Amino acid sequence: MHIVQMRGIVKRFGDLIANDHVDFELESGEIHALLGENGAGKTTLMRILYGLYHADEGNILVNDQPVAIHTPKDAIAAGIGMVTQHFTLVPTLTVAENLALGEKGSLTLDIKQVERSVAEASKRFGIPVKPDVLVRHLSVGERQRVEILKALYRNAQVLILDEPTAVLVPQEVDVLFEALKRLQYSGLSVIFISHKLHEVMDLCNRITVLRDGKAVGTVHKNDTSTKQLATMMVGRESFGVTRQEQRVQGEVLVTIKNMCAEDKKGLPALRNINLEVHAGEILGIAGVSGNGQAELSAILCGMQKPSSGQIMVEGQDLTGAEADVICATGIGRIPEDRHANLVGELSVAENLVLDHLQDYVKNGILERNKIQQQAGKLIKDFQIKAKPRDRLRTLSGGNMQKVMLARTLSREPRVVIVSQPTRGLDVGATDYVRSQLLEQRKRGAAVLMISEDLDEIIALSDRIAVIYEGEIVGIIPNSEATPEKLGLMMSGSNIEKRKQEKKRVQV
């Protein structure tokens, strides 16, 4: 039986067709993956199902009954819940208040009562949340649980998850998948969007692939392979980049000496970091998120000051330098949070020149032609699916990331600091970004790459430094790196072992 059917859905944004006569069917009790490149129209299709966008054509059936979904309220009434790519919780409200938001009921709000029923639901669905904390105090993983519980709390029969794993660390992904499988067993139907093919193969029963706004087919998991899925998505087969053999190491371009730093709460986040990055090498920083990567990246980008230690770049002391100084020194930064580093209301062209505007100003006046020309070139070089004049906020997640990359790498920086470069990118774009990073290495730049994706770390890095609780617990060359070994180091096992040995010695 089909719980949801979408028929002939068309959605246009101006002259762009984001969904082109898409048919989509969700069977009751299945986990159904929606795959496609960045900008293929996955989010758009799901926003239509949830009433956040209106389809220009087509209709929707729930339990074989046609339904009109104009607003999320209609969708919720039809038993559909959605966890969007960017979370929609009110940070200044508590978890319980967020869950009570859309509820109808008595005039007064007995928040204790709501908290009790949230706690009860949390137990029933097996999704742990604390009802009385403010959402802004929660981590991303916890917020996601709140979002899921919010949908279930309002009796969703269908749960839409838009790239839920993009923001999670591997352990959290496992927990999420367990919960989803359990919920599926109790009758929930799930639509799951992801760019990670192995996740899709692990979790889902059926897979629908979108390409350029069209549905190119639906396959059963047992009848397909990651290779075939990739081919359906982009129309070519092989993926993956190859790193050239170890090159002769160049001079040391970046030196970090005895650096310590504190996090926002004033607790030690980085302890005595010592790192060197050579010209023509990629140094990967591996680690489970929250072990100091955010602070390391912020310091190297000039957004935070270390509490002690020294940073030298090409012999120049940049300890505690401001972002603009760092920028002017020829360091290219690709920070983790693209929303904080791009301006949604400006055009793609303007965003592309934003951090070196001085090159595009004559007598204080912007040289619009030159900016447009540069934008046209970068859009072509980096295969960004957008026009120079498009508002940045209308781009799909992957294309925003490409804008970031194009802006930074086009200036051929000597040193590149990059954090989670392929988060949220499709397979093709991921390859592209990785090949661009290898290109920087070939050019002789020193690349420091922070990533939580072990495959990425191993595929690209010449040397791998593992960070655990703010400390570098080991640096190994690529030839010695295996996922198992890195995984062990990332969980801090060799440190704990050392501590235990120390204890034993003392005893």
Partner 1 sequence: MSTPAVIFIVGFLAATLRVATPLIYGTLGELFCERAGILNLGIEGTMFLGAFVGFAVGYHSGSLWLGVAIAAVAGMVSGLLMSLLAVRFGVNQHVAGLGITMLWTGVSLFSFRLIFGESKVQPSVDPFPQISLFGDTPIIGTIFTQYLLTYIGILLVPLVWWIINRTRFGLQIRAVGENPEAADAAGLNVYAIRTYALMIGGALMAVGGAFLSLASVGAFTFGIVAGRGWVCIALIIFANWRAISVLWGALIFGGVQALQLRLQTLGLKLPYELFLSLPYLVTILALSIAGRNAAAPSALLKPYRRE
Residues that bind partner 1 (CB under 8 A): 13, 50, 52-53, 71-73, 75-76, 82, 84, 87-93, 97-98, 100-103, 105-109, 111, 150, 154
Cα-Cα end-to-end distance for the chain: 66
395 binds ligand ATP (CB under 6 A): yes
Q: Considering CB distances under 5 to 8 angstroms, the limit depending on partner class, which of Mg ion, ligand ATP, partner 1, none binds residue 41?
A: ligand ATP
How many chain residues are in contact with Mg ion, going by CB under 5 A?
1
Q: How many CB atoms lie within 10 A of CB 361?
A: 13
Q: Considering CB distances under 5 to 8 angstroms, the limit depending on partner class, which of ligand ATP, Mg ion, partner 1, none binds residue 179?
A: none
Going through 316-432 in order, the beta strands assigned E by DSSP cover: 316-317, 331-334, 361-362, 365-366, 415-419
Going through 148-225 in order, the beta strands assigned E by DSSP cover: 158-162, 189-193, 206-211, 214-220
Q: How near is the Cβ of 37 to ligand ATP at its closest, in Å?
A: 7
Q: Which of residues 17-56 bind Mg ion (CB under 5 A)?
A: 43
Contact by Cβ (8 Å): 82, 28: no
351 binds ligand ATP (CB under 6 A): no
Query: 214 is written with which tokens?
Result: 């069209």
Q: Measured between alpha carbons, how far is 366 from 368 in angstroms, rounded to an integer?
A: 6
Among the residue ranges 36-44, 74-82, 150-158, 317-325, the one whose residues contact ligand ATP (CB under 6 A): 36-44
Q: Considering CB distances under 5 to 8 angstroms, the limit depending on partner class, which of partner 1, ligand ATP, Mg ion, none binds residue 187?
A: none
Among the residue ranges 39-47, 59-67, 140-148, 312-320, the one whose residues contact ligand ATP (CB under 6 A): 39-47
Q: Considering CB distances under 5 to 8 angstroms, the limit depending on partner class, which of Mg ion, ligand ATP, partner 1, none binds residue 243?
A: none
230 binds ligand ATP (CB under 6 A): no
Give the H/E segment covering residue 475. strand 471-477
What stretches of 410-482 show up as alpha helix (H) in DSSP?
Answer: 427-443, 454-460
Q: How near is the Cβ of 496 to Mg ion at its closest, in Å?
A: 39
How many chain residues are in contact with ligand ATP, going by CB under 6 A?
18
Q: How many CB atoms lie within 10 A of CB 211?
A: 18
Q: How many CB atoms lie within 10 A of CB 178?
A: 11
Among 20, 31, 33, 41, binds ligand ATP (CB under 6 A): 41
Among 38, 94, 122, 194, binds ligand ATP (CB under 6 A): 38
Q: Which is nearer to partner 1, 108 or 369 (CB)?
A: 108
Q: Which is nearer to ligand ATP, 44 or 420 (CB)?
A: 44
385 binds ligand ATP (CB under 6 A): yes
Which has the closest alpha carbon to 36: 211, 220, 219?
A: 211
Q: Measured between alpha carbons, how far is 222 from 247 in angstroms, rounded to an integer?
A: 42
Q: How near is the Cβ of 170 to partner 1 at its closest, in Å?
A: 28
Q: Which is nearer to partner 1, 72 or 474 (CB)?
A: 72
51 binds ligand ATP (CB under 6 A): no
Residue 383 backbone class (left: φ over 0; alpha: ψ -120 to 50; beta: rest):
left
Q: How near is the Cβ of 53 to ligand ATP at its closest, in Å?
A: 8
Among 63, 329, 394, 478, binds ligand ATP (CB under 6 A): 394
Which three-class secondary structure state does DSSP give residue 4? strand
Q: Measured between alpha carbons, how far is 270 from 286 in angstroms, rounded to an integer?
A: 14
The length of the chain, given as a count of residues: 507
Q: Measured between alpha carbons, how far is 247 from 82 in angstroms, rounded to an integer?
A: 48
Which three-class secondary structure state does DSSP give residue 76? helix
383 binds ligand ATP (CB under 6 A): no
Q: Considering CB distances under 5 to 8 angstroms, the limit depending on partner class, which of ligand ATP, Mg ion, partner 1, none binds residue 39?
A: ligand ATP
396 binds ligand ATP (CB under 6 A): yes
Contact by Cβ (8 Å): 277, 446: yes
Q: Considering CB distances under 5 to 8 angstroms, the limit depending on partner class, which of Mg ion, ligand ATP, partner 1, none binds residue 402?
A: none
Q: Which is nearer to ligand ATP, 384 or 457 (CB)?
A: 384
Contact by Cβ (8 Å): 334, 352: no
Interaction pattern, residues 132-171, with Mg ion; x per rule: CB under 5 A: ----------------------------------------
Residue 463, exposed/middle/buried by CB under 10 A (0-12, 13-18, 19+)? buried
Q: Considering CB distances under 5 to 8 angstroms, the limit depending on partner class, which of ligand ATP, Mg ion, partner 1, none binds residue 398?
A: ligand ATP
C-alpha 212: how far from chain center: 21
Q: Measured between alpha carbons, how far is 61 from 68 in angstroms, rounded to an integer?
A: 9
Sign, CA torsion 338/343/346/350? negative
Q: Considering CB distances under 5 to 8 angstroms, the limit depending on partner class, which of Mg ion, ligand ATP, partner 1, none binds residue 38?
A: ligand ATP
- How many alpha carbons fall within 13 Å on the CB side of residue 492? 10
Q: Which residues bind ligand ATP (CB under 6 A)?
A: 13, 16, 18, 36, 38-44, 385, 394-398, 426
